[in-house]
Amino acid sequence: MLFNSIDFAIFLPIIFILYWFVTDKNLKLQNFLVVIASYIFYGWWDWRFLSLILFSTIVDYVIGRKLRMEENQTNRKILLWTSILVNLGFLVFFKYYNFFLDNFITAFTFFGTDIKANSLNIILPVGISFYTFQTLSYTIDVYKRKLEPTKDFIAFSAFVSFFPQLVAGPIERATHLLPQFYKRRTFDYSKAVDGMRQILWGLFKKIVIADNCAEFANQIFNNSADLSGSTLVVGALFFTFQIYGDFSGYSDIAIGTSRLFGFDLMRNFNFPYFSRDIAEFWRRWHISLSTWFRDYLYIPLGGSHGGTWMKIRNTFIIFIVSGFWHGANWTFIVWGALNAVYFLPIMLTKNNRKNLNTVAQGKLLPTLREFLQVLLTFSLVVFSWIFFRAENMGHALSYIGGIFSGENFFNIIPKTWGGRMQSDFAFSILSIVLFIIIEWIGRDKEYGIGFLNEIKFRILRWCLYVLIVLFIITFGGSSQDFIYFQF
């Protein structure tokens, strides 16, 4: 079920009414409603994959209970690795089987051995990378005795399948979200209003920014061999704002929806394109995944302790694994490795914790130095997104080659584009500029239009809300799937 669909517009108020007016007197019944709603929400795509979520839920619930009773360290490790292998086993099979098979065949062919093997027509379950990591966080934290295993199977099922963030995050930690299912929730009007405001901004980012940018990003990337260098640069810029508007828009809707039901989810984006270095960018982009890899992979590997070689090794591991998490394609691995290359000089010079505050905090405009830092960081990020978006490595390299070819560089708009397409192109550019201005104004808030709550005149606030709604209805692009559904 899509957040930007009529189905969800009907589904959400029904669940909201049942949640607050029918089941609000009984916590377990309320949690059970969350489970039912979540399974309906997920099953809307393909009900067959509900069995994967249920199986993963049962496995980790049982292992969590056994970890509490088991004192023998060897047996505890066996239980932990059972959970890891079961969860990652599903993930590897559905997401990476064909990738490993194809590369295995290619490697043997290179050495003169012809191997016959058929790829499988595997459908990737939506959101499997997200809920797999979420359940793993529970088992690992129970194993480390950071979290008491739950006895409440309904609460645990609700934690694993919580529908606002089930499909594309944020990837919640059991230590943060699970205890919220133990406590009685009461309706908080101000929290609900704030949630609706964040949902509105998320829909604007998805429908107006991401979907409009997607039309031109797809057009340019799919026809990159025939376009000028400047058009290719613009295509990379369009994808840069498409993926941000799409993914952060989803997170805004998920967080806002959770607030309607009395839950607080972790922040997933913190205005990453206003970062002054690549380390700051990764503290602000997909925060739930970055911190997951930091806590469950980077730190256990030794983190930034030890010698220079260990620091370099751990940095490349964390970024390459992060890239591979996004998809079974060498482009994602190169994207991760490229970000590791960006990050290394900052880490090795111990400047990776330098920019911790908001850029130009308390000021209207940044200094020239801050502006150039943001511009440089943004340019590096845009370049890396080319690998992320490209179909394969050959496509990525030819796209980059086209940018630097110098042929017809200043012909930004192709002659084949008609008048309507050119006007839509101009509108998309203007909408991006407007979007940047709004995000800049609200950069010290939780989300872009969070500052609207500070406007004293209620009528003015509502006029702005109506204006945003009209903008979404009038200027929304053609409906596109959320990018991160494929991950």
Could you give the angle at the alpha carbon of 186 between the alpha carbons of 184 and 191, nearest 5°? 125
Q: Which structure tokens are listed for 148?
A: 């008491």
Closest CA to 351 of 336, 373, 321: 373
- What percent helix, strand, coil does the chain show, rounded to 5? 70, 0, 30
CB atoms within 10 A of CB 456: 6
Closest CA to 247 of 2, 8, 4, 482: 482
Q: What are phi and psi of 406, to 5 degrees?
A: 85, -5
Closest CA to 138 of 72, 60, 67, 195: 60
- Which contacts of 350-359 are long-range, i.e. CB under 8 A and separated by 24 or more positions? 351/277, 351/279, 352/277, 352/279, 353/279, 354/277, 354/279, 354/280, 355/275, 355/276, 355/277, 355/279, 355/280, 356/280, 356/283, 358/271, 358/274, 358/443, 358/444, 359/274, 359/275, 359/276, 359/443
Q: Which structure tokens are listed for 22?
A: 């029918």
CA distance 370 to 56: 46
460 membership: H or E segment, kind and range: helix 458-475
Tally the C-alpha atoms within 13 A of residue 362's C-alpha that lie toward its C-beta: 1
Whether 395 is catalytic:
no
Kindly name the residue from 176, 286, 305, 326 that is annotated as catalytic: 326
Residue 411: strand, helix, or coil: coil
Handedness of CA 291, 295, 298, 304 (dihedral sign): positive
Q: Which amino acid belongs to residue 354?
A: K
CA distance 128 to 175: 20
Region at 262 (left for phi over 0; alpha for psi -120 to 50; beta for the rest): left
Active site members: 326
